[in-house]
Chains A and B, each alone.
Chain A
Amino acid sequence: EAAVTQSPRNKVAVTGGKVTLSCNQTNNHNNMYWYRQDTGHGLRLIHYSYGAGSTEKGDIPDGYKASRPSQENFSLILELATPSQTSVYFCASGGARGPDGQLYFGEGSKLTVL
């Protein structure tokens, strides 16, 4: 079954440290996304990608970088982690450009920055 898998599922980091969240999809979808979920804010889009080699800024990109080295993999990078980046992060993949828009999500990565 097609799936989106994230790693690590739980991460504790120190302020100023570097954090990389990884995402792999077997859906063969062109589009991939990184969201963060916070109480009272729902899911907010950080970065997304149309395909290998492309990354686009979402609604809250500050403090985050993204990398899409292949169709299957999409990483979210926090070069200098801060406590405000403590959150649950979700990766998703979606179909080709078109009017559908359905997303397929991973199980989430809980990040705590101390």
Chain B
Amino acid sequence: DARVTQTPRHKVTEMGQEVTMRCQPILGHNTVFWYRQTMMQGLELLAYFRNRAPLDDSGMPKDRFSAEMPDATLATLKIQPSEPRDSAVYFCASVRVTDTQYFGPGTRLTVL
């Protein structure tokens, strides 16, 4: 049963610290999305990659967020420095070409 995996599942950190979230897409899926979900804003697209190349990161605060895909089995989202307003659930999703998006379980981030 192929699934998107994300680590860590929960992260509590202090303001100013660096946070790195990891995602392993489903094998064979060539497009990876990063979303952020909050009660107020709902599900927002931060960035996405196709065949490891970044296609759109316009939803991401550029000064503190960065997203990379060092290889086909790993996508990372980094926040440096983190702020309390970054507290949210971060989801990764993967899709094969233009098929259904499959979501990972999410990383629940709390910045104190």
A binds B: no
